[in-house]
Structure 1
Amino acid sequence: MLTVRSAAATDIGRVRKHNEDNAFVGTKVFVVADGMGGHAAGDLASALAVARLRRLDEVNCLDAETLRAHLALANADILDTAEADPQREGMGTTVAGLGLTSIAGTYHWLVFNVGDCRVYRYGGGELAQLTIDHTEVAELVAAGKLTAEQAWAHPRRNVVTRALGADPAPPADVWIVPAGRGERFVVCSDGLPLEVADAQLAQTLDALPEAAAAAAALVRQAVAAGGRDNVTVIVVDTAQQEGGGAGLAAEDAGGAHDASDDTVPRENLGSGSGSGSGSGTVAL
């Protein structure tokens, strides 16, 4: 029986006037979206993406095709909304996330991104970035024109080459990763890697075994290091437990809830200027 525990935290940072990040923490789907286009536009674009992708949490047999279809629909939602209001022209959002699925009776993660929101995996003392940034700088690194160290400090490191809200719809990267025991994943907006290097990220994940503590600490570190952008972090932990049988259980900071309790999923953690968090446990 695979158990998944998750938590999320967000902060406006020290420079921005509004938090344009949005996030969804479900039972098997976890999404972070980082809006672009200014307050009321970027915030709305990321919220539209989250609203569309949260529906994947209700899909019985999630697969890559269904995921890509929902990303395309999110892109259309943003374009339609922008077309209806000229002041929102050009709004968009980057997005990344995880979706748990079963393939031939074995659990796997669908890892996806459009833009420079990221998904990391930490296990066995090693940190790996599972997504590839869709940015000008990432392309220069891939071409051998910049080192990873140079890219981290490059002034154009956050110029994205793909985002939802484009016409035609941008292609999404989707990977299928086996779900192992004792692993943790981080889904984050670019405000985290902008301030926190991989070594510090790995050290924090190693030092703090509770998902809620790790998510909150990473957000605090990003803000303390400069907080030049909004920062949102979801930490997802997996564990293999004895026992079996069908069923779904979930809990959050408020106590235990039945699987049908719609207060378990947390969304729009990034709305407003403060910070927020949520957590849950599912047994699949």
Structure 2
Amino acid sequence: MPEPTTQSRTVPTSDGTFELRWAEVTDRGRRRDVNQDAMLAHYPLFVVADGMGGHIGGEIASSSTIERLSAVAEKGAVTPKTIEKALSRAVADISAHPGATDDGTGTTVTGVYLDLTGDEPTWVTLNIGDSRVYLFRDDSLAQVTTDHSVVQELISSGRLSPEEAENHPYGNVITRAVGPSDDVVPDYVRLEVVDGDRFVICSDGLTKELTDYGILHFLLAHDDPAEAISAMLEAALENGGRDNVTIIVLNVERVASSPEAD
């Protein structure tokens, strides 16, 4: 099993100085021959992509998407405009492999970035597909992103309960993806920067095996991001590991000001 390590960065903002600590891990799981997930943890952007498509199509889709978003993160100019331009380029990359990709090839893309361009710092989540961003705040866990899936549409319309959705036969069918036949404009949610917040960004390989309560349990048990994702991954594999599993945990902590000298 991979051994993740926690990285950190101190970020001065108009609302004070924050220390960000994060760790990431990806694993093939126990039933898949290849890992079609990809991830990016490059300040200020943290993203998970879960590829789909026969042969190597899913790998091409997720890796192309992460490569294009990585270039955006390296430049530091992360905005909805630069994200959408990168995703459009990823679609062109996917279409450039006609022997390995088709209209059914694509990838989810889900994550969060820190926006310091406004009067106050904010987090912005982005989402296409059914990978997820969770927010841990005040010892509780909430899903921030909304799945683009057949099951979620049935839940939203009142035709299916969350309990029934867990074993629904269309549980793997998503309604939006980054691919040749799909829209590449993500949903965005803006969140304030709060001391003590923690984000979990993950592919559905984790949420197939762990309930939200299970994710919360491991966050409460492990403050260190690397320890938290290692525990989550181990549990997901023990519970079946039916799909590729990718997890990023990101901690947000305000740095106390040094007292002024007398």
Superposition TM-score, scaled by structure 1 size:
0.80
Q: Distance in 1 between matches of 2:28 and 2:71?
A: 26
Q: Which runs of 4+ in 1 moved over 4 A?
A: none
User: Match of 2:25?
Assistant: 9
Equivalent pair of 1:20/1:39 in contact (CA under 8 Å) = no
Query: Per-residue deviation at 1:156?
Result: 1.3
After TM superposition, list the pairs within 5 Å mapping 1:123-272 onto structure 2. 123-243=137-257
Provide the aligned C-alpha RMSD in A.
1.6
SS at structure 2 position matched to 1:169: coil
Matched AA of 1:67: I
Cα deviation digits, residues 93-142 of structure 1 (max 9, x gap)? 11101111114342211101111111000010111101111100000000
SS at structure 2 position matched to 1:68: helix
Equivalent pair of 1:61/1:101 in contact (CA under 8 Å) = no
Q: Distance in 1 between matches of 2:183 and 2:50?
A: 17
Equivalent pair of 1:24/1:54 in contact (CA under 8 Å) = yes
Q: Which moved more, 1:183-192 or 1:88-97?
A: 88-97
Long gaps (5+) in structure 2: 1-16
User: Match of 2:115?
Assistant: 101
Q: Distance in 1 between matches of 2:57 and 2:143?
A: 29
After TM superposition, list the pairs within 5 Å mapping 1:72-91 onto structure 2. 72-79=88-95, 81-82=96-97, 85-90=98-103, 91=105
Equivalent pair of 2:128/2:177 in contact (CA under 8 Å) = yes
Identity of aligned residues (%): 38
SS at structure 2 position matched to 1:203: helix
Task: Return the structure number with greater relative CO, CA threshold 8 A, min gap 6.
Answer: 1
- The answer as to 2:37 corresponding to 1:24 is no
Q: Distance in 2 between matches of 1:200 and 1:44?
A: 31
Equivalent pair of 1:100/1:110 in contact (CA under 8 Å) = yes
Q: Distance in 1 between matches of 2:132 and 2:207?
A: 9
Q: Distance in 2 between matches of 1:115 and 1:139?
A: 12
Aligned length: 241
SS at structure 1 position matched to 2:178: coil
SS at structure 2 position matched to 1:153: coil
Q: Which moved more, 1:60-69 or 1:30-39?
A: 60-69
Query: Per-residue deviation at 1:66?
Result: 2.5
* Alignment CA distance shift 1:175-1:71 (3 Å): farther
SS at structure 2 position matched to 1:45: helix
